[in-house]
C-alpha cells in the first residue's frame, strides 16, 4: 500500500479545466464575507433583538469603520438594509443566505465532532471550511457523518 503521496495531484495537461477550479475558489472567497456577516447578523437579531455595528466589529475582530464599509457593500448587493446610525436588518435574500450558511456551519461542525476533532479546533476549522463545500459534497458529508456515528455507536475503535 505504498501511496502516490509525491505525485502531482493536478492535471497539467488541461489547463482550462484546472483554471475553472481556481476561478470557483476565487468566487467562493468573494461571497465568503457576505456569508459570515449575514450569519452573524441573524444570530445577533435572534439573541439580542438587533444587530449593531459595534457588536459585529467585536465578533469579527475588525475595526468599526471596516464593518461600516462592508455593510455598505452588502447593502448595495442586496443582503442587508440599514438607515444611517441605525441597526442592521437582513433582506429576504440575506435571510436565505444566512439560513443556508447556518445549516452548512452546523453540518461541518457535526462532522468534525464526529471524527473526533476537539471542540475548539472544530469551531476554528469550520469557520473556513464551510464556504468551500458544494451541495453534492454536503450530501455525502451528511451521509458519512451518520455512517460514522452508527459505527462508533456499536463497536469502538478510538486511539
Partner DNA sequence: ATATAAATTTAGCCTATGCTAAGTTTGCGA
Partner DNA sequence: TCGCAAACTTAGCATAGGCTAAATTTATAT
Closest CA to 101 of 155, 28, 6: 28
- Work out the number of other CB atoms within 10 angstroms of the CB of residue 42: 19
* Helical H segments across the chain, by residue range: 15-48, 53-60, 64-76, 92-114, 119-129, 135-154
70 binds DNA (CB under 7 A): yes
Piece of 63-71, 73-81, 87-95, 146-154 that binds its own copies (CB under 8 A):
146-154
39 binds its own copies (CB under 8 A): yes
Angle among Cα 57, 28, 134 to the nearest 5 degrees reads 120
Q: Which residues, listed in sequence order, are joined to residue 80 by a DSSP beta bridge?
A: 90
What is the C-alpha separation between 119 and 94, in angstroms, rounded?
28
Q: Which residues, listed in sequence order, are joined to residue 51 by a DSSP beta bridge?
A: 88
117 binds its own copies (CB under 8 A): yes
Closest distance of CB 111 from its own copies, Å: 9
Q: Which residues, listed in sequence order, are joined to residue 81 by a DSSP beta bridge?
A: 89
- With CB under 5 to 8 Å by kind, the binding choice for 71 among Mn ion, its own copies, DNA, none is DNA
- With CB under 5 to 8 Å by kind, the binding choice for 121 among DNA, Mn ion, its own copies, none is its own copies
Candidate list 99, 110, 125, 127; residue touching Mn ion; CB under 5 A: 127
54 binds DNA (CB under 7 A): yes
77 vs 146 by CB, closer to its own copies? 146
Q: What grid cell was written down for 102?
A: 447556518
- With CB under 5 to 8 Å by kind, the binding choice for 75 among DNA, its own copies, Mn ion, none is none
31 binds its own copies (CB under 8 A): no
* Residues binding Mn ion (CB under 5 A): 36, 127-128, 131
Amino acid at each position: 500500500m505504498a501511496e502516490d503521496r509525491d505525485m502531482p495531484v493536478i492535471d497539467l495537461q488541461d489547463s482550462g479545466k484546472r483554471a475553472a477550479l481556481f476561478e470557483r475558489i476565487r468566487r467562493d472567497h468573494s461571497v465568503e464575507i457576505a456569508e459570515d456577516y449575514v450569519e452573524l447578523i441573524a444570530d445577533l437579531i435572534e439573541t439580542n433583538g438587533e444587530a449593531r455595528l459595534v457588536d459585529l466589529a467585536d465578533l469579527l475582530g475588525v475595526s468599526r469603520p471596516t464593518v461600516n464599509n462592508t455593510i455598505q457593500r452588502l447593502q448595495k448587493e442586496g443582503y442587508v438594509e440599514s438607515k444611517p446610525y441605525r441597526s442592521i436588518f437582513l433582506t429576504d435574500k440575506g435571510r436565505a443566505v444566512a439560513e443556508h450558511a447556518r445549516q452548512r456551519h452546523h453540518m461541518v461542525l457535526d462532522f468534525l465532532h464526529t471524527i473526533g476533532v476537539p471542540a475548539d479546533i472544530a469551531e476554528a476549522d469550520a469557520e473556513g471550511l464551510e464556504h468551500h463545500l458544494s451541495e453534492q459534497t454536503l450530501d455525502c458529508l451528511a451521509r458519512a457523518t451518520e455512517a460514522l456515528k452508527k459505527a462508533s455507536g456499536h463497536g469502538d475503535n478510538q486511539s
